[in-house]
Chain A
Amino acid sequence: MFELFKAEFLRYRKWAIITFIGQLALWGFITKIKPLLEPEAAQNTLITLFCVFGGAAFGVVQMVLNRRKNNWTYLIQRPLPTKDIYCALSAAAIANIMIAVPLSWTVVVFGLDAFTNTVVDTRHYVYGLYLAAMAITSYLIGSLSALSASRGAFTLIFIMIIWLFPKPYSQTMMFSLMAMICAGLWYLNLKAFKPDLNTHVQKPLFTLLMGIPMYGVVSFLLMLASTVYYHIPRFVMGNHPDNNPVVGSMSYLWHVDDKKLVETLLKDQDVKNKDRLSRQAELADADYIDSDFWTYPSQGQMLTKDRGYGLFDGATRTRWIFSNDKMLMQGNDSISGEIKGWIGKNGFIEADKATDDDRFDSVPFMLEDMFLATPERLYQVDYEEKELIVKFEAPEGTNLVSPPQVRDNFVAIVTNENLYMFDKEDFMTEMEPAEASYIVPHPLELEKIRNMETRRMVDGYLVIYFSRHYNGYQKEAVSMYYARLGKDVERISKTDYHISRHPAIIENLNYALSPASYMLFSQIFHTLEPSEKDNPAISEVLTREYQPSVKWTALILQILSAIGTFLMSRRIKLNSTMTGLWTVMGAVFSLPALVSFFLMNKVRGV
C-alpha cells in the first residue's frame, strides 16, 4: 500500500513543488506591493478559484488517469483490497495538495511573524489549513465525479458555497463541519472506488450522504429555472412586475419617485394636514437607512472574512491592526514597521502592561480610520490625545446591529430596538461622546424590517419603515413616524399591503419545492452565521404562516415525488430497503429527491 502511495505521490510531486514555488513567488510579490494579510478581493478570489477549481481538476485528472482501461485493470487487480488502493491514492493526492496549497502560505506567514513586526495571529496560520481544506474538499468532489456512476456527482461542487459565503461566528464549528463533509466525501469516494465503475452504489448510507447535498443543489437549480418557466415568459408577455408595478403591493413603492413617496403612502390615509405633509416631503432631502444585521467579526475568523485591515493615523503614519490573539490594537509605523503602541478597550496602553480588563471583549469593525464598532459600543480613537472615547453605547439589553451609517445630513446608528440619529458634523469631528438628536423606537422587530427612509423636515425627520412581514409572514406594511427635535416621536400613518408582487408560490419557491431541503440548508447556514436574517432557523420557518397555495403545492409535490420515486425504484428493481429509502426521501425532500433519483440511478429510457 505504501509503495502505491509513494508511486502516486511521486507522480504528482513535481507539479506540487512547482505550484508551491509559484505560490511562494506570488505571496512574496504581493507582500512587496501591499500587506499580505490585508484582505483584498482580488487576492481572495484568485486563491479561492485556485483551490476550488484546482482541487476539483486534480481529483478528476487523477482518477480519470487511473481509470483508463489498462491502468484500471492493473490498479484494481493489485493484491490489495480496493479500500487500501483508494486510501493510498487519496493519501498521495492529499499529501501533494498539502505541499501545493498551505505550505507556501505557512512559510510566508512564518517569515512575517519571525522577521517583522506585522501582526500575525494564529488565525493567519490556520488560514493555510482553511485553504487546504477547501482544496481537499474540491479534490474529493472531483475524484468522486470521475469515479461515480452518478451523472450528478459533479453538482456537489456547490457544497463549496458553505465555505465561501457565510461568516461563521465559530471557527471550531466551521472546521468541524468541514471535517465532517470531507469525511463524508471521502466515504463516498471509497464506496465509489470499485472494480465496476459503471454500476451505481446501492447502499443506504451512500445514497443519503450523496443525496442530501444533491437535494440542496437541485433545489437551487430548480429555483434558478424559474427564470425559464416564469420570469422570461412574463417579460416576453410584457407583464413582468419589474416593468409593471403591481398596484396595491409594497413593491409598487420602489417605482415611485422619492418626491412622491409620502404622498403615495398617505393617499388613502386619514391624516391631518396630509396634503401639506405630502407637499413638504416632496421638497425634503431624502435618505436611506439600512436595517441589515451585520455579522461582527469573530475571534480567529479567516482573514478573507475581514472587512478592513485596520485604522490609519495619517499624522503619525501609524497603522493600527487588531490582534485577534491579544485582543488589542497594535500600532506599527507604516514605513519602518516599528511598533508605536497598543490600544485596548480602556484606551492606549503599553503591550506588556495590558491586563485582561484592557482586552477587547470582541473583535471590532474598524471604520473611517477612527471608529471601532462592537455590538455594545462604538469607540472613537483620539490619536492626538491618546484616548479611546466611547462614542456611543447601546443601552443595556440592546446592541448595535451594524456600524454607523454616514449620510448627507446625519449619522445613523441602528440597534435592535431603536434608530439613533446624530448631527453629522459633531459626530465625525468632535472627540467626545455623541448625543443623539433623535431616538426612534422601531415599530416591530428589526429582523422584520426591510429598511428605513428619511425625509428631512424643518423641525425633524419623517422616518419611514418598510416591512415585508409587518402584519405576519409576507403581510407587508409601511409605517411613517415624525421625529421632531426635542419632542416625542409621533406615528403618522401605517399602510397595509395585501397584494404580492409575484404569486405566492414564486415568492416561496424554495419552500414549495422542498420544505425539508429549504429548512435543512437554511439551518446549516443559520448555524454558521446566526445574524444573517436571510437564512432562518428551522424553528422560525415553522412559525411562518405560508399561504395555502404554497402549502398545498409543497404537499402535492411531496406526495407526487414519493409516488414517483417509489415507482421508479420498482421499475429499476431496487431492493426493498433502497425502494423504501427513496420513497421516504421523495416524501420528505420532494421534487429535488425525485430529480436526484434520476441522477443517482440508471433509469432506462429516461
Chain B
Amino acid sequence: MIKIFIPLTLVAVLSATVFSNPAAAISYDEIDEAVKASEALEQARLFPRDIFSDRRTIHAIRLSPNGEKVAFVTTDKKHSKLWLHDIASGENVLLFTSEILNRIFWSTDGDYIIMETDNSIASASVLDASSPAYIAKIKHEDHEIFHGIDERSPHHVFVSLFNKSTDDYTLYRVDMDGNKVPLYTSKDKLYNFIAEKTGPLKFLLRNFGLQQKMFQIEDGKEKQIYECRYDDGCSVASYNDKTNVIYMFGRNGGNLQELLKFDIDTDAVTSVHSEEEGHFDIDDVYFSAETGEPILIEYDTDYRESYGIGPEMSAHVETIKATIKSEIIHIKPMSDKSWLVINSDPKGPGHSYYLYDVKSKTLKQPLADFIIANPAKDRPATVDEIAIRIPFRHKASDGFMLQGYLTLPRGVDISKAPMVVHPHGGPWNRTYGAFSSAAQVLANRGYIVYQPNFRSSTGFGRDYVKGSNRDFGDGRVQDDIIDGTNYLLSRGIGNKDKVAMFGHSFGGFSTMAALAFTPDMFQVGIAGAPPPSLSKTMEYYIKKQDQTRAGILRRDVMADLAVDMNDPRDIERLYSQSPDKHADKITKPMYIIAGEKDRRVNILEVRDYAIRLEENGGIVSMLTDKNEGHNFKKPLAKEAYFYLVETVLAYHLGGRYQPLIDKKLKRYLDKNMVMGKLPTIEE
C-alpha cells in the first residue's frame, strides 16, 4: 500500500517558512471539567529538565511491505542504531550503527532498507544483511533533494540532482546499485509528480509564480490538465490507470484541503473525503499499490483522526480505535498482512507500537519487551505524573472562532496558578494535539500553559491562515493571542498578576510584541530566536533561501501572506507595528536566547534590539550560542535553554525549578550569557 504525504504546496510552503516550533487538540468546553480533575490530582515529582528531551527509545520505525519485519532506530549518544525485528521469531537484530543516519524506508518488495543520511541516500539488503551502501549523494547546498521511494517499483527511489554545467535539475529514478535513469530535466526542481511503473513521468506539477499547473505527459509532450493557486495546495497523489482518474489534494476553491478525484476524461473534480467536523485540513492518505485507490485517510484534528475508505477498511480502523482507545493513533497500512499502529496518546509520556494482524483483527506489541529493556531515561515520567492537556475553542474579539490548547498543573488551585502563554513558531505552523514536552515540563513546574493557534496557523483551512490579514505585530495575530489569554483568565484560569509569555521563533516575536503592546498583562517575557522585525527577517531569510520547499519564490509567498518586499510602503506598514519599532515601550524584564548560526533570524538584528532595549532602560538578558542555529540541538545547549526558562519563570512567577547542579551547565551559562544575568532565587 502506498502512503502519500501531502506534498502540499501550502503546508510545505508555510510550514517551512520562517520559524517553526512544534506544540499539539477538541471538545468545545472541557475546561471546567479539566480544572476540577486537575486540581484533584496529586502533584507530580519535580521532573528533571531533560526528561522529555529524548524520551523515546525508538526514534523511527517502519514495517516492511510484506509485513514480516519491522525496522527501527534507536540512539546511543550521537549514534543511531538500526535494528531489524523479525515478527515471526520475535528476534531483534542490530544491523549497524551510524553517525549519519536520519530517516529509514523500505523498498516496496521489502528486500532493502533505504536510508537518508546527512548528505546521501543509502540502501542495505535485508536478505544478506549487507553493509549499507550509498546509492546517491545529495548536496543540500545545491538544493538537491530526495523525493522518496518509487512506490510503483520494487527497488527504486527518486532524487533530483543539480547539473552545474547546465545549471538545471534532473529528476532521476535510482536503483539499489546507484544506477540512475533521468526522467525529467528543467531549470526548476520538480516537487510533485507521478511516474509510470518503471517508466517515464505521467503527471507533474510546476510552479508559475503563485500559480501551479498540473500536466499530463503523453509521448513526451506536456498537456495542462489542472491549475490552482499556491494556497489551494493542489498536488497529485495517485493515479488509477483503469479509470483514468487522478487522486489529488487541494481545496478546489473551498476552505479545507481534502482528497479530490480528478477525472481526466471529463475534467470533473469531486471531493472524495473531507474531515467530518469541517475544521481541519487533510494530512496523510494511503493508497492501494495495486489499484491506486485511497484506503485510509488521516487528519490532524484537535488530536488525530483516521478514516478507512470503504466498509472493510473502516471496520479495521474501528477495531483498532476500539482496542487502543487513544486520542492519537497513527495507522500505517503498509501490507496486506499486517499494519503498523503507533499509539501517541498525549495523555501518556511515550509511544507504544502495535502490529495489527489484518486477518485475525488482533493487535500485539512486538517491541514492548525491547522498550522495557532499553528505556530512554532511567526514570521516565509515567501516565500518573502527566498533566491534563485539552484543546478548546473561543471567540476572538472580532468574533472569529479560534482553537488552542490548555495544559493544567496537577494538584494546585488553578485560579491562583501562574500562567505561561506559549505561542508556536512559524507563524505558518500550528500547535498539535500530540504530547507536548514543553507544556508538560512547564506544568510540572506549576504553570498553566496556554498554546494558542492564532490566525495564520495551518491545518485549520485557508480562512484561518489568511484571516491574519498580514497583520503581524501590533495587529490581528497578536490580538488573537491576547484574546485567548483574556478568555482563559475570564474563565478563572490562572492568576492575572502572574502571566508570562515564552515563545520561540515567531513565538519569540509574539513575546516581544506582548511586552511592547500589552506591558501590563505580562510579568516577564522569554523569547527564543526572536525576529524583532518580520520585514527585516523576511529579507534576511529570503537572501539565505529564496525558495520554499515546494519551489515557489519565497518573496512571492511572503507578499501574499505578510509583506511585499518590493513595496517600501508595505515594509514600512509592517515595521511600524513591529516590536522592533516599539522597543522603547517595553518595561517588563525580557530574556532572549539566540543561536549565532541562525539562518532564519539574523543574530545582528537580535543583538541590536537587545542593546536598544537596554539603552532605553529596559531589563534585558541575553544568552547566545555561537555554535547553534535557529533551534538549539546540542543536549547541553537545550538544557541551558530550558534552565533559563524555568529559572526566569520561577523568579518572576514563583513556580518550581530544578536548581543548577551541573558544572558543565554552569560553565555554559557563564560563557554564553552575553548580556544581563540570570536571576538568583533565594531558597
**Which stretch of B95-103, B327-335, B598-606, B638-646 is in the interface?**
B95-103
Tell whether, in the assembled complex, residue B96 and residue A277 are in contact, meaning their CB atoms are under 8 Å apart. no
Contact B78 A280 (CB under 8 A): no
The residue in chain A whose Cβ has the minimal distance to the Cβ of B119 is A285
Task: Say yes or no: A279 contacts B134, CB within 8 Å.
Answer: yes
Contact of B98 among A384, A385, A459 (CB under 8 A): A459
| Minimal beta-carbon separation of B486 from chain A (angstroms) | 45
User: Which of B125-133, B467-475, B653-661 is near enough to bind chain A?
Assistant: B125-133
Cα separation A104 to B483 with both chains bound (whole Å): 82
How does the 8 Å CB contact mask read for B660-673 relative to A, with 1 for contact and 0 for none?
00011001001100
Q: Out of B131, B663, B667, name the residue touching A457 (CB < 8 Å).
A: B131
Q: Does B538 contact A (CB under 8 A)?
A: no
Chain A residues 368 to 411 lying within 8 A of chain B, measured CB to CB, are: 384-385
Say yes or no for B627: interface residue by CB 8 A criterion.
Answer: yes
Instruction: Chain B residues near A602: list those with CB within 8 A.
Output: none
Q: How far is the CB of A427 from chain B (nearest CB, A)?
A: 12
Report B-chain residues with C-beta under 8 Å of the C-beta of A426.
78
Interface assignment of A485: CB less than 8 Å from any CB of chain B: yes
| Residue from B81, B100, B178 within 8 A of A280 (CB atoms) | B178
Given A280-B122, A283-B178, are A484 and B78 also a contact pair (CB < 8 Å)? no
Of the four ranges (under 10, 10 to 19, 20 to 34, 35 or more), the interface on chain B belongs to: 20 to 34
CB pair B134 A284 closer than 8 Å: yes
Is A482 located at the chain interface by the 8 A CB criterion? yes
Would you call B117 an interface residue if the criterion is a C-beta within 8 Å of the partner chain's C-beta atoms? yes
Q: Determine whether the beta carbon of B130 is less than 8 Å from that of A283.
A: no
Residue numbers in A under 8 Å from B99 (CB-CB): 423, 437, 485
Given A458-B115, A484-B96, A485-B96, the answer on whether A384 and B670 have CB atoms closer than 8 Å is yes
Name the A residues within 8 Å of B130 (CB-CB): 273, 276
A residues within 8 A CB of B119? 285
**How many angstroms from the CA of A285 to the CA of B138 in the assembled complex?**
12
A486 CB-CB contact with B under 8 Å = yes
Cβ B78 vs Cβ A423 within 8 A: yes
Provide the A256-278 mask, 1 if CB < 8 A to any CB of B, else 0. Answer: 00000000000000000101110
Contacts of B137 in A (CB 8 A): 283
B652 to chain A, nearest CB (A): 29
Q: How far is the CB of A260 from chain B (nearest CB, A)?
A: 14
Closest A residue by C-beta to B82 = A459
**CB-CB < 8 A to A484: which residues of B?**
96-97, 131
Residue from B117, B124, B131, B664 having most chain A Cβ neighbours under 10 A: B131
- Give the most central of A423, A437, A457: most B CB within 10 Å: A457
Is A539 an interface residue, CB under 8 A from the partner? no
Check if A276 sits within 8 Å of B671, measured CB to CB.
no
Is B136 an interface position by the 8 A CB rule? Answer: yes
CB distance from A421 to the nearest CB of B (A): 10
Complex Cα distance, B627 from A437, in Å, reads: 22
With A423-B78, A429-B627 in contact, is A459–B134 under 8 Å at CB? no
A457: chain B residues within 8 A (beta carbon)? 131-134
B131 cross-chain contacts in A, Cβ below 8 A: 273, 457-459, 482, 484
**Measured between C-beta atoms, what is the minimum distance from B433 to chain A in Å?**
35
Interface residues of A in 565-596 (CB under 8 A from B): none
Report A-chain residues with C-beta under 8 Å of the C-beta of B663. Answer: 385
A458 to B124, CA, bound (A): 10
Cβ contacts under 8 Å, B671 to chain A: 384
**CB within 8 Å for A384 and B667 given contacts A279-B178, A283-B120, A283-B178:** yes
- What is the bound-complex CA distance between A606 and B124, given in angstroms? 75
Smallest Cβ distance from B114 to chain A, in angstroms?
A: 11
Residues of A within 8 A of B101 (CB): 458
Within the assembled complex, what's the spacing in Å between the Cα atoms of A275 and B99?
Answer: 24
Do B96 and A279 have beta carbons less than 8 Å apart? Answer: no
Question: Which A residues touch B115, using CB under 8 A?
Answer: 458
Q: CB of B168 within 8 A of chain A?
A: no
Q: Give the residue name and chain of the B residue nearest to A426 (CB).
A: B78
Q: Which residue of A lies closest to B178 (CB)?
A: A279
Cβ contacts under 8 Å, A429 to chain B: 627
Q: Which of A276, A283, A458, A484 has the most CB of B within 10 A?
A: A458
Chain A residues positioned under 8 Å from B100 (CB to CB): 456, 458
Complexed CA–CA distance, A384 and B99 (Å) = 30
| A524 to B135 alpha-carbon distance, docked (Å) | 54
- Contact flags B621-640 to A (C-beta < 8 A → 1, else 0): 00000010000000000000
Are B133 and A279 neighbours in the complex by a CB distance under 8 Å? yes
Residue ID in chain B nearest A461 by CB atoms? B99
Residue from B81, B96, B178 in contact with A458 in the complex, judged by beta carbons closer than 8 Å: B96
Q: Is B223 an interface residue (CB 8 A)?
A: no
Considering the complex, give the chain B residue whose CB is closest to the CB of A485.
Answer: B97
State whether the Cβ of B79 lies closer than 8 Å to any Cβ in chain A: yes
**In the complex the two chains form, what is the Cα distance from A282 to B133 in whole Å?**
10
| 7 extra interface residue pairs, beta carbon distance < 8 Å, beyond A276-B130, A280-B133, A460-B96 | A273-B131, A279-B178, A280-B134, A283-B178, A423-B99, A437-B99, A458-B100
Listed by A's residue number, 30 A-B pairs whose Cβ atoms lie within 8 Å are: A273-B130, A275-B177, A276-B177, A277-B133, A279-B133, A279-B134, A279-B178, A280-B134, A282-B178, A283-B134, A283-B178, A284-B134, A285-B119, A385-B663, A385-B667, A423-B78, A426-B78, A456-B100, A458-B96, A458-B117, A458-B122, A458-B131, A458-B132, A458-B133, A458-B134, A460-B98, A484-B96, A484-B131, A486-B97, A487-B97
Pairs of residues from A and B, 4 with the lowest C-beta to C-beta distance, nearest first: A459-B96, A485-B97, A458-B132, A280-B134
